[in-house]
Amino acid sequence: MAGSTPASAIAEPLGKSSGGVSLWAEAWRRFKRHRMAYWSLWVLGLLVLAVLAGPFIYKVGINEIDFQARLAPPSSKHPLGTDDLGRDLLARVLYGGRISLAVGFAAMVVAILVGVTIGAIAGISRGWVDAALMWVTDLFLSLPQLPMLLVLTFFFRDSMKAVVGPEVGIFVLIVVVIGGFRWMPAARLVRAQFFSLREKEFVEAARALGASTQRLVVRHILPNSLGPVIVAATIDVAAAIILESTLSFLGLGFPPDIPTWGRILFDAKDYLDIAMHWSLFPGLAIFVTVLAISFIGDGLRDALDPRRVM
Amino acid sequence: MGPYILRKLLIMVPSLLGISVVLFTVLALAPGDPFEELATNPNVPPAVRAALRASLGLDDPVWQRYVHWLSAMLQGNWGFSFVSRINVDTLIWQRLPVTIVVIGASQILALLVALPVGVLAAVKPYSWFDRIASTLAFIGFSLPTFFTGLLFILFFSIELGWLPFVFRADISATGWEWWWEHIKQSIMPVAVLGLAQAASWMRYVRSSVLDVIRLDYVTTARSKGLSERVIITKHVVRNALIPVVTLIALQLPQLFGGAIVTEQIFRIPGVGSLLIDAILRNDTPVIMAVTFVLSALVILFNLMADIVYGWLDPRISYR
């Protein structure tokens, strides 16, 4: 093949891997060799633990107003300082992290479910179904994402609020809208995988044994096409977190009483000169989370999708 | 080349129609009523309101409204902004140049950074330069543009006091002074957008140069005694750029997202901030027109990517 540049720093020559190890154990071993990804997994784990357990240990309310300590810099009483109403920022960042991470994961699930379904249908049925679905995919790919997100969340905010309550309504709306604009890469990936897999001998063998199309897809083709989808899913989590923060930062995401990271930044941006800690900490939280997820995605790509080029 | 471009232009038409259907459906389904103000105004009797609605065709079936709207758009009648009280197309033409200039400059910056860094990183893979560049790229695309923007303001405007952080369209100076002021206030928005873009492009360039650089024809070029410089610029980069152009074209819709954010942070009077204002004030004709213009721009840039593609890979244009 093409020269001797390995596709990644951790790739190794073929045939060197020890036999008798399951595919997942092998993938995990390769993942651990990507040091940044391995450490990022720890960082992300700690972050998730902090936002889940943090509010139980650090018992300061997110809406406790303390006018004595308005815009106070970090101190022993308020580890990350306070905002313009004297509310504790550590408590708010921890609470906001729950929402931001939940939106990220939930939107990823929506995007992957839609993407895998559409990609699988397009990949297994040739002809006009495939052509129509790919036309829709290309159409969605050329829609300007953020403007559409802004318009949709703004217009449907009130009706969602009326149906399922203010907080859940906004959450569901944002998750569905972000997921609805991120499924296209997954759909294309799955379709491409289907195209190559359905001609393979093992699928042929299963078909010869009389397996139905449904069984072929669910049991044989889909599991084998999941590697790249897992990588795409990881990237989707990071993208969804950034999108949600962007919406909130523009003042069109979550309402002011739900302090997601983007929303805290939106409130803080006018106080940049007198209270920089206020915008620094939520911004750093977004940055560290997204960086960790990106590294994990990179490690997963090397572990699950290894082009071990010789 | 001619028939190729023509074919691509024809493919644009159904895409634009599809986008217009999507946009129109979204706004037709949206619960907000542009007549809300009239509906709550006690001075307007219900009969007048109903007559007004009927005369504007608001009670027609959706598809009829869509056809009316589309034909009006095609005739250049883009409607009237509820808030600014001027024609929507005038409004957009006022705002579009700033956005195009900022986006264009940032793309050039991104290219100037990503291309050499990506190529150098791929020429010596896993060297120190490659490691540092790749790590910086990761950091670059993990930083959301709104946070980099705030950090830039914090550092360059507040700490150092070098650059202004509010974009002013009405600079009174003339001649060189005018240019200098404009360049000074554009540095930060362009850098924020361009560097974020450069981070992801650099990775594309690097991996696609890596795919090409060990191919046999490169070895042949080397054995002919060509200088390394000629091999890289003439043989490797041109072929490596083909997949990069596709990836860049795929990323274009996200570019406008970045532009909206930077325009909002630095208060640049472009289409992005126009859209945000219009959304916050429920100015439906403006929202509609701006989203449509942005979608049309994305499709136009895709067309340009196709043309560049044809230039990079001559085999394509004959197909």
- CB distance A175 to A110 below 8 Å: yes
Q: How far apart are the first and last CA of chain B?
A: 10
- Is pLDDT at A288 greater than 80 in this prediction? yes
Nearest Cα residue in chain B from A268: B150
Tokens representing residue B225 in the block: 């005694």
- Is pLDDT at A13 greater than 60 in this prediction? no
State the DSSP code for B56.
Answer: T
- Is pLDDT at A15 greater than 60 in this prediction? no
Q: Which residues of B touch A286 (CB under 8 A)?
A: 144, 147
User: How do residues A56-103 score in pLDDT, each as one tens digit?
Assistant: 877 777 777 776 766 667 776 777 777 767 677 788 888 888 888 999
CA distance B110 to A284: 24
Q: What pTM value is reported for the model?
A: 0.83
User: How do residues A127-154 score in pLDDT, each as one tens digit?
Assistant: 888 888 988 888 888 788 888 888 888 8
CA distance B92 to A85: 39
- Is pLDDT at A240 greater than 70 in this prediction? yes
Cβ atoms < 10 Å from Cβ of A10: 18
- CB distance A147 to B21 below 8 Å: no
pLDDT confidence tier of residue A105, bands split at 50, 70 and 90: very high
Tokens representing residue B195 in the block: 């560097």
Closest CA to A303 of A3, A5, A41: A41
Q: A273 - beta bridge partners?
A: none
Is B289 part of the contact surface with chain A (CB cutoff 8 Å)?
Answer: no
Residue A108: the pLDDT is 93
Tokens representing residue A52 in the block: 């889940």
- Is pLDDT at A38 greater than 50 in this prediction? yes
Q: At what angle do helices B175-213 and B237-266 cross, to 10 degrees?
A: 140
* Sign of the four-CA dihedral A233, A235, A238, A240: negative
CA angle B278, A181, A230 (to 5 degrees): 150
Q: Which residues contact B254 (CB under 8 A, 6 or more apart)?
A: A145, A146
- CB distance A106 to A175 below 8 Å: yes
Closest CA to B185 of B265, B257, B273: B265
- Give the mean pLDDT of A32-43: 86
Positions in chain B whose pLDDT score sits under 70: 1, 30-42, 52-59, 169, 171, 173, 316-319
- Per the CB < 8 Å rule, is B295 touching A151? no
Is A262 part of the contact surface with chain B (CB cutoff 8 Å)?
Answer: yes
State the DSSP code for A18.
Answer: P
User: How do residues B205-219 score in pLDDT, each as one tens digit?
Assistant: 888 888 888 888 888
CA distance B26 to B292: 12
Which of A:101-160 have CB within 8 Å of B? 135, 138-139, 141-148, 150-152, 154-156, 158-159
- Give the mean pLDDT of A218-238: 85
Cβ atoms < 10 Å from Cβ of A71: 16
Q: Is B80 helix (H, G, I), strand (E, B) or coil?
A: strand
CA distance B228 to B236: 10
Q: Is B172 helix (H, G, I), strand (E, B) or coil?
A: coil
Least confident among A17-26, A235-244, B223-232: A17-26
Residue B280: the pLDDT is 82
pLDDT confidence tier of residue A118, bands split at 50, 70 and 90: very high
- CB distance B198 to B115 below 8 Å: no
Residue A264: the pLDDT is 86
Q: Report chain A's mean pLDDT, rounded to a whole number.
A: 81
Q: Is the ipTM of this complex over 0.90?
A: no
How distant, in Å, are the alpha carbons of A92, A93, A149, A151, B273 from that of A96?
6, 5, 20, 23, 26
- Is pLDDT at A300 greater than 80 in this prediction? yes
- Per the CB < 8 Å rule, is B19 touching A265? no
- Per the CB < 8 Å rule, is A142 touching B15? yes
Q: B87 - beta bridge partners?
A: B80
* Residues counted in chain B: 319
- Is pLDDT at A49 greater than 70 in this prediction? yes
- Per the CB < 8 Å rule, is B291 touching A272? no
Which residue would you say has higher pLDDT here, B4 or A44? A44
- Per the CB < 8 Å rule, is A141 touching B253? yes
- Is pLDDT at A17 greater than 70 in this prediction? no
Residue A2: the pLDDT is 45
Interface A–B counts its CB contacts (< 8 A) at 137
* Sign of the four-CA dihedral A136, A138, A140, A142: negative
Is B292 part of the contact surface with chain A (CB cutoff 8 Å)?
Answer: no
pLDDT confidence tier of residue A310, bands split at 50, 70 and 90: very low
Percent of chain A with pLDDT over 70: 87
- Give the mean pLDDT of A10-20: 53
Residue A109: the pLDDT is 94
- Phi first, then psi: give them for residue A82, nearest 5 degrees: -135, 170
Is B158 part of the contact surface with chain A (CB cutoff 8 Å)?
Answer: yes
The beta-carbon neighbor of B147 closest among A156, A273, A283 is A283
- Per the CB < 8 Å rule, is B151 touching A283? yes
State the DSSP code for A138.
Answer: H
Q: Which residues of A touch B215 (CB under 8 A)?
A: 2-3
Nearest CA to CA, how far is B174 from chain A (Å)? 31
- CB distance A185 to A118 below 8 Å: no
